Amino acid sequence: MIKTSVISLFILALMACSDAPQSDLTKQQQDTGQGHKQAAIASAHPLATQAGLDILEKGGNAYDAAIATAAVLAVVEPYSAGMGGGGFWLLHDEATQQTRFIDAREKAPLAAHRDMYLDEDGNVIEDLSINGPMAAGIPGQAAAFAHIAKEYGNLPLSTSLAAAIQHAQNGFQIDRKYQILARWRLDALRDYPSAAEIFLQDNDVPNENHVLVQKDLAKTLTALANNGKAGFYEGPVAKQMVDSVQAAGGIWTLEDLKKYEVVEREPVTSEYRLANRQYKVTSAPPPSSGGIAIAQMFNMLEALEQHHEISWSELDGADEIHLLSEVMRRAYYDRAHYLGDSDFVQVPTDTLLDKQYAKKISKNIKLGKATKSADLGTQQQIYEGFHTTHLSVIDQDGNRVSATLSINLPFGSAYLAEGTGLLLNNEMDDFSVKPGVPNAYGLVGNEANAIAAEKRPLSSMSPSFIETEDKIAIIGTPGGSRIITMVFLGMLEYVRGNPVEDWVSRPRFHHQYLPDVIQYEKDSLTLVEIASLKMKGHELKEIQRQYGNMQAILWDKKNNKITAAADPRGVGSAEVRHIK
């Protein structure tokens, strides 16, 4: 990012951060004086959105604001994301037109191995990969904050983390969403007294007026703010984490923490022509499955329009749902078979993104009849936790961030490392716990996503941009395996020219190849649509709740206007502000 408007108060602090050379994204930084002066933040909690906006007012850029927003989310959404988890960050520098993907996904500990969750008879040990310290991968959130602040930010990390430290130290009032998710994970939280003491009230779900105070977390955030990455991954905080994990039967070591590094990867970038207009999508590469799957779905829509005379843009109702479900089905088939951590397995990215490949796999899509997933080939399935958070940011210079962060299931592993305030993730469950062997449903786990030391589990997190010459969208959402289709549907609202509020609020449906059903939000399909889809051969399953929590921003460059929206299903907020 271009370092603009850095006030003199912070110059010495920035110089002290590091003498290391910075990345290409910061090398050409100059003040163009041509910013659009509007900025926006959309996040899953009002306190987080406010923290990000405050940082922009203090001279921070989009990357500083994203850190501040994410850090507050780590405090106020312990059920979704936190310092004990990780995530993916998509960063774009408007002046240099460079985009970077920061992979801060958790890693398997050094002592992890393929069969670590199996008993001596080869059977899965119930809950071992879900609850407690054995379920936790080495967290990447703190490393992401330190890396992004050092390489791309305008402000020192201590400034960006100040609001999060304050909310952890002084507390905040919980809301209804907190209560719902605490009740869902109540038994697990009760199993670990250190977690129950912080996140429950008298060992039960807190009342709505309860103020959640996390003084140990404030100390951990302060250590990170003052000492950078080493303040978290080395020294007293690291020792407390490892001692607590090992005392409870976990396998973390100090070496695991010291070796953790984020990875900068090339994002998945692809272009399409739909309804006579060109679009560019930039999204997450492996170990995310999102960018490739989204690209494949758009490639198939383009191929259907150009080669098979089936135009998505001319369809509506059941016909549109059917067609989109068919492209979802095929993308998720490839996701289950080929995707994993590209540092460990060979992902056939070029083949999967090839336009001719999209033409081939879409040629048997028929408007009048559903394909059976079993007809696509061998059956494999990927299981994934579903609780995550997302934030979208654009600053007054057009620099932007789309970041999706997670601890996997609500409240992660439910295990809190004593003395640190860190609620640990259970992302190890995102690996194939027992690949190659059919489960009770006859589904076979993905070998490419098998457990290995220092490997990152496959994820659906899909922070993304979609753009034309005159408009740019920043988009993402939580939702486990449904993330990809939610982002895809939101992007299609953008393609239709609908306002940002429609992207985040539209009714959602989902097909992930297996199980072979269209899942849909409660009351989101009409009786006529349901009957028509069944006539085409689809099975349907109504999800008895709303899902997802999309946060999105639209920059209309032609009219120099920004709009933003937070998903009405959540408690988040989106705000556009003029920055001086």
Domains, the chain: 8-264+405-449 (no CATH), 266-384+460-575 (3.60.20.40)
Write the CB contacts of 180 (distance below 8 Å, at least 6 apart in sequence): none
**Length reported for the chain:** 580
Q: How confident is the model at residue 379 (pLDDT cuts 50, 70, 90)?
A: confident
Residue 63: name the closest of 389, 397, 388, 286 by CA.
397
Backbone angles phi, psi at 171, to 5 degrees: 90, 165
d(CA 374, CA 364): 14
- Report the percentage of the chain scoring pLDDT > 70: 91
Q: Residue 391's closest CA among 119, 22, 64?
A: 64
Q: Is 460 annotated as belonging to a binding site?
A: yes
Give the helix/strand (H/E) hosting 406: strand 400-408
Tokens 């705000």 sit on residue: 575
Percent of the chain with pLDDT over 90: 84
Q: Which residues have a catalytic role annotated?
A: 388
Torsion, Cα of 115, 121, 126, 131 (10° steps): -40
pLDDT of 184 higher than 90? yes
Residue 439 has pLDDT above 50, yes or no: no
Q: Is 407 annotated as a binding residue?
A: yes
Tell me whether residue 459 is annotated as binding: yes
Neighbours of 119 (CB within 10 A): 11
Q: Give the tokens for residue 108.
A: 């398997």
pLDDT band at 382 (very low <50, low <70, confident <90, very high): low
In this structure, are residues 292 and 286 in contact, taking their beta carbons and an 8 Å threshold? yes
Answer yes or no: is 132 a known binding residue: no
Radius of gyration for the alpha carbons in the chain, expressed in angstroms and rounded: 23
Q: Chain-centre distance of CA 466, in angstroms?
A: 16
Q: What is the mean pLDDT of residues 265-290?
A: 96
- Residue 85 assigned ligand-binding role: no
Distance separating alpha carbons of residues 453 and 341, to the nearest angstrom:
12
Work out the pLDDT band at 435, boundaries 50, 70, 90.
Answer: confident
Bigger pLDDT: 26 vs 529: 529
SS (H, E, C) 324-392: HHHHHHHHHHHHHHHCCCCCCCCCCHHHHHCHHHHHHHHCCCECCECCCHHHHCCCEECCCCCEEEEEE
Residues 485, 495: contact at Cβ < 8 Å? no
Cα separation, 60 vs 397, in Å, equals 11
pLDDT at 433: 85
Instruction: Please tell me whether the peptide bond between 478 and the residue prior to it is cis, using omega within 30 degrees of 0.
Output: no
In 3D, which of 268, 281, 292, 269 has the Cα closest to residue 468? 281
Q: Is 426 annotated as a binding residue?
A: no
Measure the CA–CA gap between 116 and 114, rounded to whole angstroms: 6
- The HSE-up count of residue 289 (CA atoms within 13 Å, CB side) is 29
Over residues 40-64, mean pLDDT: 98
Please give the Cα distance from 459 to 341 (Å, whole number): 9
Are 552 and 565 in contact by the 8 Å Cβ rule? The answer is: yes
Rounded Cα distance, 51 and 75, in Å: 12
Cα–Cα distance for residue pair 73/281, rounded to 1 Å: 27
CA distance between the termini of the chain: 18
pLDDT at 17 over 90: no
Phi, psi of 233 (to 5 degrees): -95, -5
Q: 401-428 pLDDT, tens per residue?
A: 999 999 999 999 999 999 999 999 999 9
Q: Which residue has the tokens 């988040």?
A: 572
- 565: exposed, middle or buried (Cβ count in 10 Å: 0-12, 13-18, 19+): buried
Confidence class for position 383, pLDDT limits 50, 70, 90: low
What SS3 state is found at 45?
A: coil
Q: Can you give the pLDDT at residue 378?
A: 80
What is the three-class DSSP state of 459?
A: strand
Q: How far apart (Å, rounded) are the C-alpha atoms in residues 341 and 494?
A: 30
Can you give the pLDDT at residue 484? Answer: 96
Instruction: Say what the pLDDT of residue 384 is.
Output: 58
> Which two three-digit tokens encode residue 1?
């990012």
Q: Which band of pLDDT confidence, cut at 50, 70 and 90, is reported for residue 9?
A: very low
